[in-house]
């Protein structure tokens, strides 16, 4: 049975609404789990969550109500080859991403989650941001995480969708647009924008996306009230290697901002 729709405070116009925004960054998204653990320990709950790419994946788990103990189990058991077979010159089917999510949390519609949830993708046909707040959750996550070239575009409700990070990697502006009075953002790729000396196709693609997302994060960072920036520069966005360290770094970076977040909540509730 699906959960009853979450009655979020955005429906009460006289109430503050604090959103959590989770940015994209591939496998560096393990750090989001550490951040959620810090929030959980501090008793911090957000009214709704907006995510791009891996931030949408982890955000969907949070919106369903998954605790961090379960998320740590997912981190331990997930095999990235379930998501991408490693042959980068042949695009994979992005629905593999949604299938992994569904096996972990079940099948859901976005509008029926415990917390309000929004996932961001890019409509490749018109080159515009695509906001997903209703419909099948698994297909929305597949679309939001659909790195161009590595995956074939996801066709969802007639739209041809790819990774939301192309246009909006830190979608705090979307959270504000949808009624958030305050936004806490987690940027798991604060060292973005670097190039490469390699001529290999995949390395050039990674550098291209890094440069693109450096621009696609500016608006969101400006719209954030608090930004958590774990330093994950030594970890690759395509590898699980060091995932426990990434979780710890995400946790530590969030702990440093816990007092600021608690004060934000105290002053707005």
Which residues are catalytically annotated? 53, 163
In the structure encoding, which two tokens stand for residue 71, read together?
Answer: 């998320």
Strand 128-132 versus strand 116-123 pairing type: antiparallel
In the structure encoding, which two tokens stand for residue 173, read together?
Answer: 């502006």
167-116-160 Cα angle (round to 5):
35
**Distance between CA atoms of residues 235 and 27, nearest Å:** 8
**Distance between CA atoms of residues 68 and 203, nearest Å:** 33
User: What is each CA distance from 43 to 27, 35, 70, 143, in whole angstroms?
Assistant: 26, 12, 17, 31
**Distance between CA atoms of residues 62 and 68, nearest Å:** 9
Do the Cβ atoms of 148 and 206 come closer than 8 Å? no
**Distance between CA atoms of residues 114 and 67, nearest Å:** 13
Residue 65 has a CB neighbour count (10 Å cut-off) of: 13
């Amino acid at each position: 049975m699906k959960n009853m729709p979450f009655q979020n405070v955005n429906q009460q116009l006289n109430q503050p609404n604090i959103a959590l925004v989770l940015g994209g960054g591939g496998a560096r998204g393990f750090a989001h789990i550490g951040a959620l653990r810090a929030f959980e320990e501090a008793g911090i709950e957000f009214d709704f969550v907006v995510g791009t790419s891996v931030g949408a994946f982890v955000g969907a788990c949070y919106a369903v109500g998954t605790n961090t103990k379960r998320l740590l189990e997912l981190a331990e058991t997930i095999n990235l080859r379930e998501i991408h077979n490693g042959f980068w010159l042949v695009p994979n089917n992005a629905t593999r991403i949604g299938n992994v999510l569904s096996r972990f949390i079940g099948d859901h519609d976005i509008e029926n989650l415990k917390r309000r949830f929004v996932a961001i993708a890019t409509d490749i046909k018109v080159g515009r941001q695509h906001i997903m707040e209703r419909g099948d959750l698994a297909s929305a996550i597949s679309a939001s995480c659909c790195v161009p070239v590595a995956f074939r575009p996801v066709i969802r409700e007639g739209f041809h969708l790819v990774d939301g990070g192309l246009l909006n990697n830190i979608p705090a502006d979307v959270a504000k647009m949808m009624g958030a009075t305050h936004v806490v953002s987690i940027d798991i790729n604060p060292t973005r924008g670097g190039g490469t000396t390699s001529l290999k196709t995949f390395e050039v693609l990674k550098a291209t996306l890094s440069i693109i997302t450096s621009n696609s994060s500016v608006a969101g960072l400006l719209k954030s009230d608090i930004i958590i920036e774990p330093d994950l520069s030594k970890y690759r966005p395509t590898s699980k290697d060091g995932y426990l360290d990434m979780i710890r770094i995400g946790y530590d970076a969030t702990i440093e901002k816990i007092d600021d977040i608690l004060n934000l909540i105290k002053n707005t509730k």
